[in-house]
Amino acid sequence: MPPPTNSAGVSSEYSWPIAQPPPMSNTSSANFSGTQQQQPKTPNLPHSPSPSNISSGFINQRNYTYDDLATATGGFSKANLLGQGGFGLVNKGVLPNGKEIPIKSLKSNTGQGEREFQAEVETISRVNHRHLVSLVGYCIAGFQRILVYEFVPNNTLEYHLHGLGNPVKDFPTRLKIATGTAKGFAYIHEDCNQPHIIHRDIKGANILLDDNFEAKVSDFGLAKLAADNFTHVSTRIMGTFGYLAPEYASTGKLTEKCDVYSYWVMLLELITGHRTDVNSDSDNLVDWARPILNRSTKGGNYDELIDPRLEGKH
């Protein structure tokens, strides 16, 4: 599991930050061997205002009941916890047909959890692309907001690039990941139906990989919609330190170029093998790489910039 990343407004250690469902009684731990378990009942929760206004944003997504998802996760058992962050928890679930799903439970009865849910509804439910994680369903129960995604089996770019003990990924694999990610972002910036989408939290932990190392962009909880004629959106600064575009961090003015900056930071990670906090002197990756890139450009030799674990095989 990749380590937590310090963030501004966001803290996540898996691909989807989310929140814990309410406590449930008479719930046993997860058991996927086929043994029948007593399943929790839908909790008695206060009703949130106008859930129909929210659910109307979903187009082709299934409306799961709370009991459906409690059954799939063994009562949201800790044994099925994939990750947690500032907005809640992600649990692994298994549907009756054997299909695995990640289930993102946003913190209940909080403004930020509601905003993230709305952002996902307004963005990822509108798009369909092979390099974007698909939203397959949702659950609205009282103040609970739960999202169900397609399962991407091979963890995250963060995990494969920086996880201790993982095999070194060769240069063609890194290039494949970078290309797939770029195609996903090109789609949300240019090709999807209006309005376009600004992701606002591009980082390795939000790039999921399948078994062939095809990249899928995930976590649209901070995303913003942008009409064709917009110049910028003034917004509260959100995202992850080390990936934020300087102009956005200083002014709060958000454009698609902010995503481009974050993507290039991630590309530097792929090239150099370094994290965004590259050393103990608090240099960020961009500041560390800039003088090396200048020297490499003048001398025509980029070996100093490239991950030494590749042993010159690039």
Span 124-135, pLDDT tens digits: 777 889 999 998
What are the tens digits of pLDDT across the range 256-299?
999 999 999 999 999 999 999 876 565 789 999 999 999 999 88
Binding site per annotation, positions for ATP: 104
pLDDT at 201: 92
Residues in the chain, overall count: 314
Q: Which CATH class is domain 157-310?
A: mainly alpha
pLDDT at 313: 87
**pTM for this structure?**
0.77
Look at the alpha carbons of 143, 149, 155, 158 in this order and tell me if their dihedral is positive or negative.
Answer: negative
**How far apart are the C-alpha atoms of 256 and 195, rounded to whole Å?**
12
pLDDT at 15: 41
H-type alpha helices, 240-311 = 246-251, 256-272, 285-299
Preceding peptide of 195 cis, ω within 30°: yes
Residues annotated as catalytic (active site), given as ranges: 201
pLDDT at 276: 92
Ramachandran region of residue 165, left (φ > 0), alpha (ψ -120 to 50) or beta? left
**Positions in the chain whose pLDDT score sits under 70:** 1-60, 85-86, 109-110, 194, 227-235, 279-282
Give the pair of three-digit tokens for residue 196.
């376009």
